[in-house]
Chain A
């Protein structure tokens, strides 16, 4: 399913009909209309994409290409100017659908709640019984390795641990589609690799569909089933690469020869787009 690297591709669709896709995107565009002192801004698209249930899909692209905008639209936090996005057959339009979880780039843990209460927050809002909440929260904390810190406050934790709290909070609600916007951006390389392994383990245990936005080519190549490479603004997919990794992978596949080929292929297309985005004013 590899396609030529130079032109924008409009249909990196998997070979099944759109009706079976977990998340389906057709002709998605986001254009910011002209306002005082600024011309209209074509930020994203057109995008066509199908995500299969349980797939791990990464998006890489140069700064400002619209990756985060794509995540916003798919999460229901923002409305597309054109085109459609559907989740489990129903349109995503302006509100966050049930079954979707988001982990943001910036730490969004609530500083006034303990780790436990943070993780329990979303589920409690849905009115679940306290016994159910306790069970699920302890499970999630165990899964991400924060059980010992259940009573601590975010201010007492490191940046990486706070992000794990946010991930736990999302996991507790058992989303079927998880979107992560450069969740490990603020962390050092070693922590990133370990967190990547964690994420894979969580993915296997929950069976959720994952969309990961990252600027790290290595991370995309290591973690995903498929990698979408975006052009400079307005972002469109110029390539979608199938990695072909087995489900039980972890960071040690970095020593596999295929890994270098994949990252090499990503960079050969991304390099030019990155240069383009550097010349354009933000």
Chain B
């Protein structure tokens, strides 16, 4: 294990230990927060019982769908913004303010467009996630050093060859960051949407448990969500770091 990873493990372990102590010693009351060990027990119980498996799978499926669409759509939009810099400059003020709008307010619109199924939720998550991919795509293309394009010209590459063999590989680290962000935002969008709107999925079950005062179940489900998200994130993050390291000097 590398040194940073070692320290990281220590930090997390200490934080968990403190939390456990705080809960058990009564510094935080049991109605608010249960000790991490009990969260773990609850999570294990939930997984073993299979009671919520369908909801978990539904959520993951929806996230996957939203993420894939966001990556493709975001890449396409990013390409367009790269090709037309005027368009990008015109859109610049909105690229950050975009996140202030709760995209689930368009849920009724999406129901009309897609029907009463999971697709409106995919749409809500898509709207939240594709912008991150688009911005990363533009940044990636802009990051290609001009000298590489000159080298491509000097070797008489066609435009398609240049795009495929030089631009895409050079932009790969940023594109990968975009994919990672798209997945993260898709998760957030789907789970938040389920929390507020939907009748199925992990987010919905957490909200339901909260409203039914079933704190143990609620925290167990939250732990499952947390661990899944963190695991996926870590896998993507390490791959992303290797890509960036290979291409920096």
Contact = CB atoms under 8 A, between A and B. Distances in A.
The reply, when asked whether chain A contacts chain B directly with Cβ atoms under 8 A, is: yes
Nearest to B249: A155
Interface stretch (A6-14, A42-50, A102-110, A236-244): A102-110
Contact of B248 (A95, A100, A110, A155): A155
Given A77-B154, A96-B153, A112-B172, A104 B247 contact: no
Interface string B110-152: 0000000000000000000000000000000000010110110
A111 interface: yes
Contacts of B170: 110-112
Interface in A227-256: none
A96 B145 CA distance: 20
A112 B154 contact: no
Interface of A: 75, 77, 95-96, 98, 100-102, 104, 106-108, 110-113, 121-122, 125, 153-155, 166, 173
Interface in B143-179: 145, 147-148, 150-151, 153-157, 161, 165-166, 169-170, 172
Q: What 8 A-B pairs have minimum CB-CB distances, sorted nearest first?
A: A108-B151, A102-B154, A106-B147, A112-B169, A122-B155, A111-B247, A108-B147, A96-B156
Given A107-B147, A125-B161, A155 B247 contact: yes
Main secondary structure of the interface of B (DSSP, over half): helix
A110 B166 contact: yes
B3 interface: no
Q: Give the size range of B's interface with the partner.
A: 20 to 34
Nearest to A155: B249
Contacts, number: 58
24 contacts: A77-B150, A95-B156, A96-B154, A96-B155, A101-B154, A102-B151, A104-B147, A104-B150, A104-B151, A104-B154, A107-B147, A108-B150, A110-B151, A110-B170, A111-B170, A111-B247, A111-B248, A111-B249, A112-B169, A112-B246, A122-B155, A125-B156, A125-B157, A155-B247
B244 to A, nearest CB: 11
B245 interface: yes
Contacts of B161: 125
A75 B245 CA distance: 33
A121 B154 CA distance: 12
Contacts of A110: 148, 151, 166, 169-170
B247 A112 contact: yes
A104 B146 CA distance: 12
B150 to A, nearest CB: 6
Contacts of B154: 75, 77, 96, 100-102, 104
Nearest to A162: B249
Contacts of A98: 156
Given A108-B148, A154-B249, 19 more contacts: A75-B154, A77-B150, A77-B154, A102-B154, A104-B150, A104-B154, A106-B147, A108-B147, A108-B150, A110-B166, A111-B246, A111-B248, A112-B169, A112-B246, A121-B165, A125-B155, A125-B157, A155-B248, A166-B151
